[in-house]
């Protein structure tokens, strides 16, 4: 199945820009979306801090009915310049569920800080059937 991919521009390079997500809501339609994340950890402890981020945000993911479809290590880069430590594909039943998660007060207060402490860089994309 073909999917359109949107890179989410954001002033905070580690967290989705909720205003932009609101703008693309109509493009996503009424069905599921898949969020793809490519992550590079901070050196010296970023991966460990990311595990704490996971413990805090996992209940939010469940509440948003998000399903982790794939979670794996970054492999050799076949095209492009950057290497990634972790790759994740997460399915949400609707873009609104994703927005519920990233606007949750716990995500905004604790989740954002832990992401900043653990990640050097990230690429977030939302994909949806076309």
pLDDT band at 13 (very low <50, low <70, confident <90, very high): low
In a domain, 6, yes or no: no
Which of 2, 97, 87, 89 has its CA nearest to residue 39? 87
Mean predicted confidence (pLDDT) in 91-110? 89
Structural domain contains residue 96: no
pLDDT at 18 over 70: no
Quote the percentage of the chain above a pLDDT of 90: 41
Q: What is the pLDDT of residue 15?
A: 65
Q: 10: which 2 tokens?
A: 């954001």
Evaluate whether residue 56 is within a structural domain.
Answer: yes
**pLDDT for residue 7:** 43
* Inside any domain, residue 59: yes
Separation of alpha carbons 40 and 119, rounded Å: 6
Rg (CA), the chain: 14
Neighbours of 98 (CB within 10 A): 25
In a domain, 63, yes or no: yes
- Please name which of 25, 88, 85 lies closest in space to residue 61, comparing C-alpha atoms: 88
Residue 101 lies in a domain: no
In-domain check, residue 126: yes
Count Cβ atoms below 10 Å from residue 44 Cβ, excluding itself: 8
Domain that holds residue 73: 32-88+122-130
pLDDT at residue number 129: 74
Residue 22 counted as domain residue? no
Six-digit token pair at 101?
């998660």
pLDDT in tens, 27-48: 777 889 999 999 999 999 999 9
Confidence of residue 17 (pLDDT cuts 50, 70, 90): low
pLDDT digits over 102-120, tens only?
Answer: 888 888 888 888 888 999 9
Query: How far is the C-alpha of 41 from the C-alpha of 84, rounded, in Å?
Result: 8
Where residue 93 falls among pLDDT bands split at 50, 70, 90?
very high
Residue 127 — very low, low, confident or very high, per pLDDT cuts 50/70/90? confident
Number of compact structural domains in the chain: 1
Q: What is the pTM of this model?
A: 0.80
């Amino acid at each position: 199945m073909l999917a359109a991919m949107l890179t989410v521009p954001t002033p905070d390079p580690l967290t989705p820009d909720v205003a932009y997500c609101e703008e693309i809501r109509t493009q996503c339609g009424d069905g599921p979306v898949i969020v793809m994340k490519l992550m590079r950890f901070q050196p010296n402890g970023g991966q460990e801090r990311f595990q704490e981020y996971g413990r805090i945000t996992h209940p939010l993911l469940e509440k948003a009915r998000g399903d982790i479809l794939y979670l794996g290590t970054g492999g050799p880069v076949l095209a492009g310049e950057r290497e990634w430590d972790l790759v994740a594909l997460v399915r949400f039943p609707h873009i609104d569920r994703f927005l519920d998660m990233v606007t949750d007060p716990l995500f905004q207060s604790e989740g954002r800080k832990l992401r900043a402490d653990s990640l050097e860089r990230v690429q977030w994309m939302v994909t949806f059937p076309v």
